[in-house]
Every structure is written in structure tokens, then in C-alpha cells.
Amino acid sequence: MINIENVSFHYSPDRWIISDLNLKILPLTWNIIAGPDGSGKTTLAKLIKGILKPQIGDIIFTPANEINHDGIAYIAGGYSNSVVGVTVLDDICFGMENLRVSQKEIRKRVRNVLAWTGLVGFEDRLTHTLSGGETQKLCLADVLAVGAKVLILDESFSMLDNSSRHDARVLIGDLKRALGLTVIEITNRSKDMGCADTVTFLDYSKLTQFYNSPNEFLSSPVGRQWLIPQGGTQSLLNSFSSGDASEVIRLLRAFNMNLSQDGVSL
């Protein structure tokens, strides 16, 4: 379990980004962190990973002998920047070699992560020739090879098309169940919430609201306000592709929202 206890953080003393945050992240769960830009989502992710340290409060791992900052992988949207190897095999081995893992263990882990991520046969592929979806798989293979048990996905699918995004989600869901992973995902897409167990919403007032399921969040006053920006429902729908707009309409219907007030014909 990851216990975030009374955590506050600022980049400058006159503006707190995170204020008195309390949150529990249970093992083997998929957790969404949502909220407007600038509300502290990425800062929270970096605090959990240990890239940043809270000025106030603590992040406690229990049991401490099973999880720590080193067991957490942080994968951001520009994931291709984290690829350092010339070939797929070079890239997967890089982290393990830095940790001085034995060659016998490296060979074993390489076989495992290639099978888990569907990259068998890609060992000699040059990394710069990989597609976005293949690069995403390689990043997963990299972090699994060094033993990550918690995946922080900070808009990690933002560079993928809809088909690759779907495939990546299915893959991570399968790995979560098979390997006992915990997932913490930052996203502002309602379509991305279907696989989640919980939603934590951060807003500019530094109030944090926790929901036991995506449906509970999206049907709450906060969720409804988040779904419909100031321009109204039609403005929201205009910002989506036709497929995504249909999904938004389906959600709004499910939560009995009065779309006629916003001039949307259903």
C-alpha cells in the first residue's frame, strides 16, 4: 500500500501545488488521477515516484520490504525520450546492467519481458524504427525487467492513435492481473476511466476528492462539471472526434443530464 499522509508541496513558497493531501493507493488496483491542467497531477506522480520530496508530510510504503520508490516506474507521455539503446535488446538490458544483475538473470528476465510485452522477435530491431505502440511496449519491457511493481502512467498514451491506445491499455491490464501490478494513471479522458478502480480528482482550490469508481466520479457534481466546460455541452462535443463525442453523449445520457439545455439534439 502507498500511504500519502498530509503531503504538501510547492515550487515557490507563495504557491502551494499540493496542499495537505491524504490518499491511500491499494495494491493491485488501477487508480486514475484527474483534474484540470496545473492542478498538481504530475507533481503528485513525481512525489509518489520519489523524483520530488514533499516539504510537509510523508509518503509511506507498507510493507516497506515489498515496495519502495525504486519499485515504482514513471512513464511519461514523451516515453520515446527514455529509450537509450540502439536495439530493443540493448535497451532492455541497460537498466539491469546498471543494477549489476548477473548475466544469467538478465537472460532469464529478457525472455520473460519479451514474452509479456509481445516483443519476441524484436530483439535486433533498431529502436528508432519502432512505431509508437512498439515503443510503448519497449518502455514497459524496460521497467518490468528491473522489477517494477507500480506503474505511474503520466499521459503515457497521449502520443498514440486510438487503436494503439486501446491495445496498450489491454496489454497493461493483462500484465496487471498476471504480474500483480498496481497502476496509477494521470488522464483527462473520460474514455480512459473504464478500466479504473478509483478516481482521485485534484482541483485548483487544492481540495482533493476521492471516488470509489469512475461511474461514481462521472455522475457526481464534480464529475459533471469536469465533463462540461464553460462553453456548455456543445462546446465539449466540438472538441472531440466523432467517435469520442458519441462516447461523451453516451456518458451524459447514462447520468441523466439535461442535454437539451445546451442545444444538443439527441
Spell out the domain ranges in the chain: 2-212, 228-262
pLDDT, residue 104, reads 97
CATH code: domain 2-212 is: 3.40.50.300
pTM for the predicted model, two decimal places: 0.82
Name the catalytic one among 66, 97, 123, 155: 155
| CA dihedral sign, ordered 240, 195, 158, 114 | negative
- What's the pLDDT tens digit per position in 69-106? 889 999 987 665 679 999 999 999 999 999 999 999 99
For residue 21, which of 202, 154, 188 has the smallest C-alpha distance?
Answer: 202
Q: Is 28 left (phi over 0), alpha (psi -120 to 50) or beta?
A: left
Half-sphere CA count of 86, side-chain side, radius 13 A: 0
CA atoms within 13 A on the CB side of 82: 20
Name the pairing type of β-strands 198-202 and 72-76.
unpaired
Kindly give the pairing relationship between strand 30-34 and strand 56-61.
Answer: unpaired
Q: Using one digit for the tens of pLDDT, what is the confidence trace for 46-78?
A: 999 999 999 999 999 988 667 778 899 999 876
Four-CA torsion 56, 62, 67, 69, nearest 10 degrees:
0
User: What pLDDT was estimated at residue 28?
Assistant: 95
Q: What is the CA radius of gyration of the chain?
A: 20
5 counts as catalytic: no
